[in-house]
Amino acid sequence: MDKIKSDKIQNSQNLVVESLNSLPLISITEHSNEPWVIRDCQSRYVYVNQAGLDFLGLPANFNIEGKLDNECPADWAEFAAEYQANDRKAEKTGKRVAIISTNFYGRKKILEPYYLPRFPIYNKLGECIGTLTNASKLNFISLSQYVNQRTPSVLTLTPPTTLFTEKELRVIFFILQPMTAKMVGDRLCRAKKTIENNLRVIYDKAGVSSLKDFREWCGTIGLDLYIPPEFVKPRVQSQRLS
């Protein structure tokens, strides 16, 4: 990366990628297949490894160094204020700040939730000079996974089977919460009897005869981790600090 001009990093303790070369941090992140990002105390990008560039999904010819989130041509840029506010929290408290961001990440622009914690980083004088961020898909454990001691998985917006229509998938999503047929009907603006008829068709397709068996069946194929895309919106959630 080219050296960041000094006028872009005023009040950032002169954090530039060259000053990190002597630290093990760079060698670790450089060869990691996980996304890693370092920002200065103004939230300007100082360093992003290759996995991080792929995760952010920016154009190949875009130079992110020295840029703020809102200066990046990406869907997630609209949440720049939230990202930067959490950078300040990490710098001020000296503690990790947990963030869950649901947005269109990666080269394929898939809407998924990611865990993006902010860690403060310091120079040899003990001064906070920026933040370090790692990105990982948000793990989720469903009730069936907990009961059957299965490994936590990642929520998905793509159904693991083509057996069901979009309308049926919406019914399945709510019935697994769990919700009664009446509650599902109220949520989807359908009659209770209509939902019950939908469930009979759904059970028949899955080869089961009861809700209990259907829930177990969903757990075996991962349908309990599916969320209809219309129920997921890009957003940022962060922990509250006392």
Per-residue pLDDT of 27-49, as tens digits, reads: 788 889 999 999 999 999 999 99
Q: Based on the domain organization, do 19 and 102 belong to the same domain?
A: yes
Q: Based on the domain organization, do 53 and 94 belong to the same domain?
A: yes
Q: Is the dihedral of CA 26, 76, 42, 58 positive or negative?
A: positive
Residue type, 133: T
Q: Based on the domain organization, do 129 and 177 belong to the same domain?
A: no
Range of the domain at 12: 6-138+233-238
Q: How far apart are the first and last CA of the chain?
A: 39
In-domain check, residue 145: no
Using alpha carbons only, what angle is made at residue 57 by residues 98 and 96, rounded to the nearest 5 degrees?
Answer: 15
Using alpha carbons only, what angle is made at residue 18 by residues 39 and 96, rounded to the nearest 5 degrees?
Answer: 30
* Over residues 145-162, mean pLDDT: 65
**Among 35, 34, 36, 42, which Cα is nearest to 16's?**
42
pTM greater than 0.75 (yes/no): no
- The pLDDT value recorded for residue 139 is 61
pLDDT above 50: residue 205 = yes
CA 46 from centroid of its chain's CA atoms: 22
Three-state DSSP class for 112?
Answer: strand
CATH number at residue 169: 1.10.10.10
In-domain check, residue 130: yes
Q: Confidence class of residue 144 from pLDDT cuts 50, 70 and 90? A: low
Cα distance between residue 18 and residue 78, in whole Å = 30
In-domain check, residue 16: yes
* Over residues 13-18, mean pLDDT: 61
Can you give the C-alpha Rg of the chain in angstroms?
22
Average pLDDT, the chain: 84
- How many domains are contained in the chain? 2
- The pLDDT value recorded for residue 155 is 66
CATH number at residue 69: 3.30.450.20
pLDDT above 90: residue 56 = yes
